[in-house]
Amino acid sequence: MLRRCNEVQNRNEISHQLCQNTIFEGLTSEQISGMWPCIVAYVKNYGSQECVCRKGEAVRDLGVVLDGELRVCNERADGKRVTVASIQKNQLLGEAVMFSTTSCLPHLVIAQRSAQVLYLSKNFFLTPCDKAGCEHKSAHQDIVKNMLRLLSDQAIYLNQKIAYLTATDLKTKVAMYLWELYESNNSKTFNMPLNRGRLAEFFAVARPSLSRELINLKNLGIIDFYRSSVKILDLKALDRLAHRY
């Protein structure tokens, strides 16, 4: 009986957290908890630096990061791992490839630190719920609609990234990165989610080169920064640099 109570309590806590996730937007924690048998495949814990998914591994279920952070990496020929993205708490794992022809991840995914991932059944998104007595059929449809909207938004985002990746020099890339953070935070003051080492990996440059560009922008009076905190001082100048590609 005690184990059963703990399972229900844990389910309710997770359901409350999932209300903040894009996939479950518009749903209450009670609705999510009621749909639990229909949507949840399993929950898995990972230790720091543990492999979550290997490159080329098929994605069978949709992951939601409940706690911790995942690191999406490319492995170079010399064995060095280059970070291309991070998956934070409440963000998704595998949504971009789950419905593709191969359903295989193009990158390695590891836990940056201890993490917990909730996996949602892939079949839930592909077939109508056939469970007798399910009282949340409309909520099922809402989740599928949210998923389709998310995939559409990501397609638009990736198209924007094409312009970002075709930037001709590092200064432009840094300016574009800072401009994106300004827009996403809707503030001239924000924290960079990636530290300089990982951001340098993302740009595929040496960390000193990245630091020089940040210092140049500071000396030009365009930005000021302290550690991960950045303040935009000249928004028009940053705009010109970010969109000169």
Q: Which residue ranges form the domains of the chain, and what is each CATH number?
A: 2-124 (2.60.120.10), 163-242 (1.10.10.10)
Q: Which of 24-38, 126-140, 212-226 has the least mean pLDDT?
A: 126-140
Three-state DSSP class for 95? Answer: coil
Could you identify the residue written with the tokens 């020099």?
169
* Helix, coil or strand: residue 38: helix
Which pLDDT does position 47 carry in this prediction? 96
Among the ranges given (60-74, 152-166, 201-215), the one the predictor scored with the smallest mean pLDDT: 152-166
211 pLDDT above the threshold of 90: yes
Contact 41, 121 (CB under 8 A): yes
- Which one is predicted more confidently, 123 or 63? 63
> Is residue 164 very low, low, confident or very high in pLDDT (cuts 50, 70, 90)?
low
More confident residue, 128 or 227: 227
φ, ψ of residue 81 to 5 degrees: the values are: -100, 130
- Residue 83 burial (CB count, 10 A): 19
pLDDT digits (tens, 9 = 90+) for 36-52: 878 877 899 999 999 99
Is residue 129 a contact partner of residue 62, using CB atoms and an 8 Å limit? no
Q: Which of 13, 17, 124 is nearest to 65 (CA)?
A: 17
Judge if pTM exceeds 0.85: no
State how far the Cα of 97 lies from the Cα of 105, in Å rounded to an integer: 7
pLDDT for 68: 93
Q: Percent of the chain beyond pLDDT 70?
A: 92
- How far the first Cα of the chain sits from its last, in Å, is 63
